[in-house]
Amino acid sequence: MKHLLKYSAALLLLPLLMSSCREEPNYPDEPEISFNRVDQFTYTKNRITFDSLVVVVDFQDGDGDLGLRRKSQGEGDPDFKAPFDQSSPFFNNFFVNLQIKRGSRYVPFPFSSEFLNFNGRFPRLATDDKSEVLEGQVKYTLTNFSDDIFDPRDTVRFEIFIYDRALHKSNVVYSNDVVLFQGL
């Protein structure tokens, strides 16, 4: 019993010391993404059927400069000044190109206007501007799927990429096939 008490403190400290020796991963400054999944929720409102899709991508970034605020914090907010102002192609940081399956091929969905798209912003992932390694998931919700625009059982997929605040573009990933309105 005497030896158990003598060495118990050392045994408790050993896992703590070993975990503190974990080396930080070394990722490039350019964001790297991988497709994880699409969660699908089908519902009916006013006799129109809708699909709400949540696209989930995993990310890794070496300097942690991912995300842009969705609402301005005032006139000097850097997330709303060039190159992130509303007229810039970098206003959004999450890019989603919808493709619809026709036969065995995918073709871009023919939106009625170049201004209609699924692109948007995901929020800052670090609370400060300190350079740090980040990894995790971004969940991005797409809600504009209705049976008055899409045919039931249309098969779609998404081409996805992101930008960080240094304007580094990630790799491009593709989602799995999504059959619309399957929840009926």
Q: For 81-116, how does the pLDDT look when each residue is reduced to its tens digit (9 = 90+)?
A: 999 999 999 999 999 999 999 999 999 988 766 667
Residues 6+ apart with CB under 8 A from 142: 52, 53, 54, 55, 96, 118, 158
User: 8-64, pLDDT tens digit by residue?
Assistant: 555 455 555 555 555 777 888 999 999 999 999 998 889 888 899 999 999 999 999
Domain residue ranges of the chain, discontinuous segments joined by +: 26-179
User: What global pTM score does this model have?
Assistant: 0.82
Domain 26-179 - what CATH class?
mainly beta
Q: How many CB atoms lie within 10 A of CB 16?
A: 8
pLDDT at residue 147, rounded to an integer:
82
**SS3 track for 79-148:** HHCCCCCCCCCCCCCEEEEEEEEECCEEEECCCCCCCCCCCECCCCCCCCCCCCCEEEEEEEEEEEEECC
Residue 4: which pLDDT band, with cuts at 50, 70 and 90?
very low
Query: CA-to-CA distance for 166 and 53, rounded, in angstroms?
Result: 29
